[in-house]
Chain A
Amino acid sequence: MTSLIESVRTTVGDTLFYGAVSPLVKILVLLFLMILPLIAYLTLAERRILGFMQARLGPNRVGPWGLLQPIADVAKLLVKGDSIPLRAVKWAFVLAPCLVVGPAILVFAVIPLGPRAEAGGLSWFVTDINTGLLFVVATASIGVYGLILGGWSSNNKFSLMGGLRSAAQMISYEVPQGLALVGPVLLAGTLSMVGIVEAQKADRFWYVFPQIVGFFLYLVAGVAETNRNPFDLPEAESELVAGFHTEYSGMRFALFFLGEYANMIVISAVATTLFLGGWLRPFPNVEALAFLDPVPGVIWFALKVFVFLFLYIWFRGTFPRYRFDQLMDLGWKWMIPVALGNLALTALVKLLVA
């Protein structure tokens, strides 16, 4: 592997290699070998796990243990009729699903799956920009336009209400989410995603321990950001039929779905990076656990992400749905003040210690 990389590098030259070949290969690998299959199998995992929680089996017919179910789903959605309502605003209707999926996948560019490159190797991330976290937050919030546009352009009252709900919800919950993210940033002193993980290694503890409040705030706000139960108001099926994607069918509907699941993975990955030490093994400071070191960082990263994804599914299997005004209450009256307090406390401690 290393020799292959080396030979490619010498053939095309350093500039071209690090400027184009390596990122391109990484993006393709990330997109087609990691994110899309992960999303596909996340849907299967969700249906299976929900099934197990609900005393039933879930889909198990297509392939062994239902493992080919996602492929069957995709095939079905691809060949299904894709209808656009007569009075829909066509350009917005077509644009909306792309606006949901695009940013969600874009975020993966700055998420470090593993450490920086060692000599002669490749790093485990597409790029490391020094404002990585800002990029994540900014990109992720573009997704809300997709939901609003989709809801509005469908020319359906249920869709419109779903779109409005999602707008209010996502904007409200971005505030506590952002404030919760500032805690680790203060501790690390950098916005770079790689830098934050490295700071956790240098500090010898995961930031979830000093930032436990921030962690829970981020968790709750993250569930709300991704419109998942118990905050799945924009698509609440018993109230708004299917909310903003009522009128969507076929692959456009699948794109919304894809976006939702990609967002779930994004939120999980960001939480892992900022609070759970990214690719670091558990208790990076305890020497007794050094035998865990040979396990590649990407495995630890994936394990932590899976824990979050399981939490998402678990919540969905357990909780009723909040009402719109109660959701706003929770966001503005509880989470934002607590997040602000947490932030002030963190800053104070940081100031005193430093």
Chain B
Amino acid sequence: MTQPLALPEDDHDGLFADSEEMELSFGPQHPATHGVLRLKLKINGERIVESYPVIGYLHRGTEKLFELHPFFQNIPHTDRMDYVAAATNNQAYVGAVEKLLGLVVPPRARCIRIILAELQRISSHLLWLATHAIDIGAMTPFFYTFREREILLDLFEDYCGARLTLNCMRPGGLPYDLPVGWTGRCAALMADLPGKLDEYEELLTNNRIWKKRTVGIGVLPPEVAIDYGVTGPMLRGSGVRWDLRKALPYDGYDEVEFEVPIGRNGDTYDRYIVRMIEMRQSVRIINQCLEKLPEGPIMAKRPRVMKAGKDAEIYHGIEGPKGEIGFYIVGDGTPNPYRCHVRPPSFINLQSLPELCKGALIADLVALIGTTDIVLGEVDR
């Protein structure tokens, strides 16, 4: 016979004290945890009694890194926080720096920024849909969404030379102007995309299995969502109409027309629908911007060495694909920020996960991790 089975001796948390329940370490190496999230679960059969997210496996000290570099050198580091939505990270960071330094962005740069940010929102949501669907067991949407995302990333590559870690904005404007023919390709994709979205929806939206797996799962009441500080599609899925693009318009979002979708029940299905509508609204925004794209410079007049004033501090948040991504920057008169704190939407949305999966099944847990749409690079920074 093999060695006898024994309870582990390092039972610091007393999780094995009650023999009815079992502790399950869900991650950090697990196919459904979107990276390196670890969930300590207490389960009774398949039902989750308690869950405790353990984070920090991807901690790189980004906030400390910001303090060591001049403002413009930090932009590549922001790419690597939410690495599936680099453009919006850039936008939030350069927005904060611009506010700090009092730079005024030219209209053409603002318009291109909106296009890039909305493209990034679509690409981030496509990736979310792919992983969410594959977590719930539908394999095919993954490949369809990646097919479209590939074209989208080609647009980014044409614009700034990178596909994921874009480094595509600078304090005061943009590093490059749009290449020749870019707007045409972008418009062609935007004409194509709603049909493709219909295809994904045909596979999922009305599918009874998909509905069974998502309707009524992980209900997040609006009050609770607000208490947790949840933002983005998670909050809007709960029926709170809060979108920074509408509430505190930045970079000229007040000049474009779009709707902010909200959910009714605050369950996983509503959040799915909200994100699907958001993609269509993003297409609408991009089409408007492509139409009215103004001519002119793409970079504001800015000093060669950008220095923040002494004791200057600023918080600037924007509506990223996952929620409010904000930067709090303190200057001390040098070219480097004295302190730079990030408000990462993934980290704060993740706080609601234990609340969501109380009493859910293991199978629901993967749907719930998918619906919170976290990127661990941003959670851990």
Q: Which residues of A contact B (CB under 8 A)?
A: 50, 53-56, 86-90, 155, 157-158, 161, 229-230, 232-233, 236-241, 316-326
Interface membership of B374, Cβ < 8 A: no
B219 smallest CB distance to A (angstroms):
16
Known: A239-B362, A318-B203, A323-B364. A89 touches B2 (CB 8 A): yes
CB-CB under 8 A from B362, the residues of chain A are 161, 239-240
Instruction: From known contacts A54-B144, A161-B46, A323-B363, infer whether A238 and B2 are also in contact, taking CB-CB under 8 Å.
Output: no
The total of Cβ contacts below 8 Å across the A-B interface reads: 88
Q: Is B140 within 8 A of A321, CB to CB?
A: no
Q: How far is the CB of B132 from chain A (nearest CB, A)?
A: 10
Q: Is the CB of A238 within 8 A of B140?
A: no
B2: chain A residues at CB < 8 Å are: 86-90
Query: What 0/1 readout, one digit per residue, does chain B (32-44) give for beta carbons within 8 Å of chain A?
Result: 1000000000000
Measured CA separation A233–B2 after assembly (Å): 29
Of A88, A233, A320, A323, the contact of B138 (CB 8 Å cutoff): A320
- How many interface residues does chain B have, given as a range? 20 to 34
Inter-chain contact B22/A241, CB cutoff 8 Å: no
Contact, CB under 8 Å: A320 / B210: yes
Evaluate contact between A236 and B137: CB separation under 8 angstroms: yes
Of B30, B133, B139, B364, which one neighbours A317 at CB under 8 angstroms? Answer: B139
A236 contact from B138, B363, B364, Cβ within 8 A: B363
B207: chain A residues within 8 A (beta carbon) = 319-320
A54, B137: Cβ atoms closer than 8 Å: no
Compute how far the CA of A141 lies from the CA of B148 in the bound complex, rounded to whole angstroms.
44
**Alpha-carbon distance between A55 and B24 when the two chains are bound, in angstroms:** 37
| A320/B213 in contact, CB under 8 A | yes
Residue numbers in B under 8 Å from A321 (CB-CB): 136-138, 209, 213, 363
Q: Is the CB of B137 within 8 A of A230?
A: yes
Q: A238-B32, A319-B137 are in contact. Are A55 and B144 (CB under 8 A)?
A: yes
Report whether A157 and B22 are in contact in the complex, using a CB–CB cutoff of 8 Å.
Answer: yes
B interface SS class = helix
State whether the Cβ of B143 lies closer than 8 Å to any Cβ in chain A: yes
Contact check, B213 vs A323: say whether CB atoms are below 8 A apart. Answer: yes
Known: A87-B3, A320-B137, A324-B361. A238 touches B366 (CB 8 A): yes
Q: Are A317 and B140 in contact (CB under 8 A)?
A: yes
Interface string of B1-37 (1 = CB under 8 A from A): 0110100000000000000001010000011100000
A324 in contact with B137 (CB, 8 Å): no
In the bound complex, do residue B143 and residue A54 qualify as a contact, i.e. CB atoms below 8 Å apart? yes
Q: Please report B residues at the A interface, Cβ cutoff 8 Å.
A: 2-3, 5, 22, 24, 30-32, 46, 133-140, 142-144, 147, 203-204, 207, 209-210, 212-213, 361-366
CA distance A240 to B363 in the complex (A): 9
B203 adjacent to A324 (CB under 8 Å)? no
A residues near B22, Cβ cutoff 8 Å: 157
Do A237 and B31 touch across chains, with their CB atoms under 8 A apart? yes
Q: Is the CB of B143 within 8 A of A232?
A: no
**Chain A contacts for B24, CB-based, 8 A:** 157-158
Q: Is the CB of B213 within 8 A of A239?
A: no
B209 engages A239 (CB within 8 Å) = no
A238/B135 contact (C-beta < 8 A), A157-B22, A321-B209 known: yes
CB distance from B159 to the nearest CB of A (A): 25
Q: With A87-B5, A88-B2, A321-B138 given, can you name 16 additional A-B contacts, CB distance below 8 Å?
A: A50-B139, A53-B140, A87-B3, A155-B5, A161-B46, A161-B362, A237-B31, A238-B31, A238-B32, A239-B365, A241-B30, A318-B140, A318-B203, A320-B213, A321-B137, A323-B364
Which of the residues A157, A229, A239 comes within 8 Å of B366, measured between beta carbons?
A: A239
Among A316, A324, A325, point to the contact of B139 (Cβ < 8 A): A316
A317: chain B residues within 8 A (beta carbon): 139-140
CB nearest neighbor in B for A321 = B137
Query: Which A residues are in CB contact (< 8 Å) with B138?
Result: 318-321
For residue A134, give the distance in angstroms from its CB to the closest CB of chain B: 33
Contact B204 A320 (CB under 8 A): yes
- Interface centre among B3, B139, B204, B365, by most chain A C-beta atoms within 10 angstroms, is B139
Chain B nearest CB from A165 CB (Å) reads 8
Decide if A324 touches B209 in the complex (CB within 8 Å).
Answer: no
CB-CB < 8 A to B210: which residues of A? 320
Q: Tell me the complex Cα distance, A229–B203, Å.
A: 15
Q: Which residues of chain B have C-beta atoms less than 8 A from A236's C-beta? A: 137, 363
A-B CB contact pairs (8 Å), 7 listed: A54-B144, A55-B143, A88-B2, A316-B139, A317-B139, A319-B209, A320-B138
The 4 tightest CB contacts between A and B, nearest first, are: A321-B137, A54-B143, A320-B138, A238-B32
* Cβ–Cβ < 8 Å partners of A55 in chain B: 143-144, 147
Q: How far is the CA of A317 from the CA of B133 in the complex (A)?
A: 12
**B151 to chain A: closest CB distance in Å?**
12
Q: Which residue of A lies closest to B131 (CB)?
A: A238
Tell me the complex Cα distance, A55–B213, Å.
Answer: 26
> CB-CB < 8 A to A326: which residues of B?
212-213
A237 to chain B: closest residue by CB: B31
A230 to B363, CA, bound (A): 13
CB distance from B170 to the nearest CB of A (A): 37
B46 contacts A324, CB within 8 Å?
yes
Whether A238 touches B5, Cβ cut-off 8 Å, given contacts A56-B143, A320-B210, is no
Bound Cα distance A87, B334 (Å): 59
Q: Which of B5, B133, B144, B209 has the most CB of A within 10 A?
A: B209
Question: What A residues does B213 contact at CB under 8 A?
Answer: 320-323, 326
* Chain A residue nearest to B369 in the complex (CB): A238
Q: Which residues of A sit under 8 angstroms from B137, Cβ to Cβ?
A: 229-230, 232, 236, 238, 319-321
Residue of A nearest to B133 (CB): A320
> How far is it, in angstroms, between the C-alpha of A318 and the C-alpha of B143 when the chains are bound?
12
